[in-house]
Chains A and B, each alone.
Chain A
Amino acid sequence: MEEVKLLGWWMSPFSRRVELALKLKGVGYEYIEQDLANKSQLLLEYNPVHKKVPVLVHNGKTMAESLVILEYIDETWPNNPILPRNPYEKAMARFWAQFIEEKCNGGLWKIMWCKDEEERGRLVEEASHCFRTLEGELKGNKFFGGDEIGMVDIAANFIGYWLGVVQEVSGMELVTRDKFPVLCKWMDEFVEHSVVKETLPPRDKLHAEFEARLGAPSWKY
């Protein structure tokens, strides 16, 4: 019997990526919500190296790191593939997923926690360049995966949904409709996707959490 468990956190885009992939493939799983302020014995046992979510457990075997888990899911449940089969196309998908993680999400993270206005300005410009590059990869398609969402779209989930909330809370205007019309259109399609919708944390709850965590006044600009 297949036994699939997912250790996650409602707010984490990383654990939501895994949920999205499982739902796209119609794989049933037991979801175990984690309290990251008080890490459970289970989490510490299953991910001793990083002590983070998500952790996927399949028939007793554990694995960590969301992009690694996505590949496992695609290989284990090959229906509704999220990665291309062609090695070159697959390499490209992996490249863009990594780019999103390192440059786009990485850049956003630095901006979110940067208190120095001048440095933040520089980081925003750098990030803008990365988003322009990413936008170019849509190439007239509905999704990065083509007609259907794929690994790159899933990897970009923070950009697709969380970023909007972060921009609202902070007043940051990095990815706006007039500056990035094509990327914003992708964001619209992404959040409207029938399966993606099921995996998005409630917007008002997310908004409240970001307000609290990012600390209000000193961070708005």
Chain B
Amino acid sequence: MAKNDVKLLGVWASPFVMRARISLNIKSVNYEFLEETVGSKSELLLQSNPVHKKVPVLIHGDKPICESLVIVQYIDEVWTSGPSILSTDHYDRAIQRFWAAYLDDKWFPAMRRIRGAQGEERQELVDQVVEGLALLEEAFGKYSKGKAFFGGDQIGFIDIAFGSLLGWLRVTEKLGEVKLLDEAKTPGLVKWAESFCADTAVKSVMPETEKLIEFSKLLMAKMKGAPPPKN
């Protein structure tokens, strides 16, 4: 497939964009990365994602695909010669989709709000996030079966969905002065996080935490609490 048949609109800091990039890397797909300028939206973005006007957008030929988990599944279904991202077993696939949805619907929204919250509300959010990590630790123990990833020997759907959020988790810990991923409480996840970040499909697209911290500070200053433009 010629390189410019596959384009990805994104921004370097977005965990959702990272999911698409990791997936394309796993499948060894050559693609053109079109970086959007933070604070403005290109014509191409507005045209190809008129509903949400957000990154990531995968453009395959002339077909735009939006929503990160939809994109990851699309990549898995189209490029079948590469390693599978979702399990071939129906039940396992359902479990993978369940946890990815949990991360997006419950866990990440709570984590994002920690920095802007105060007092009781903040503590509640921290508790929710820590409880969630305990659930994920249990899930990791169950599904990894002693291997490095939720997907076993190789990165899979849950790894991608969760691992892409690690950068912002670290930012929250640093700037929010709160310990979330704790080796004492979730040793499996701590080790998993290391393996994930070291993986060849991930390394080149995982932003450095320091850069994310700077970016986050800039955003907070500019937008005063409004959520950053990404999904």
* A and B co-occur in one complex: no
Residues of A near any B CB (own CB < 8 A): none
